[in-house]
Amino acid sequence: MIDWTDDSMFRGTGDLADQIQREALSVSNNNAEGFERGTTKELIIFLCYAKVLLAKFAVC
């Protein structure tokens, strides 16, 4: 994702590139945290958080 947002088409649109990079990192962080919590219920909660972030990303 970071390589993709480093592309020249994102030059001059720093806010958008930064947001996409932060969202991508948040998705992987939520997945990792959900797995680390140790229960299926908490994993599902964090997967839902990640799904919301992906939906926000799709709107960009």
pLDDT band at residue 59 using 50, 70 and 90 as cut-offs: low
DSSP letter, residue 10: G
Q: What CA–CA distances, in Å, run from 40 to 15, 16, 20, 26, 37?
A: 35, 34, 28, 20, 9
Tens digits of residue pLDDT in 3-30:
555 666 655 556 777 777 788 888 888 8
- Taking the whole predicted model, whether its pTM rises above 0.75 is answered as no
Helix (H, G, I), strand (E, B) or coil at 60: coil
Question: Which pLDDT belongs to residue 25?
Answer: 85
Tens digits of residue pLDDT in 27-54:
888 889 999 998 999 999 999 988 888 8
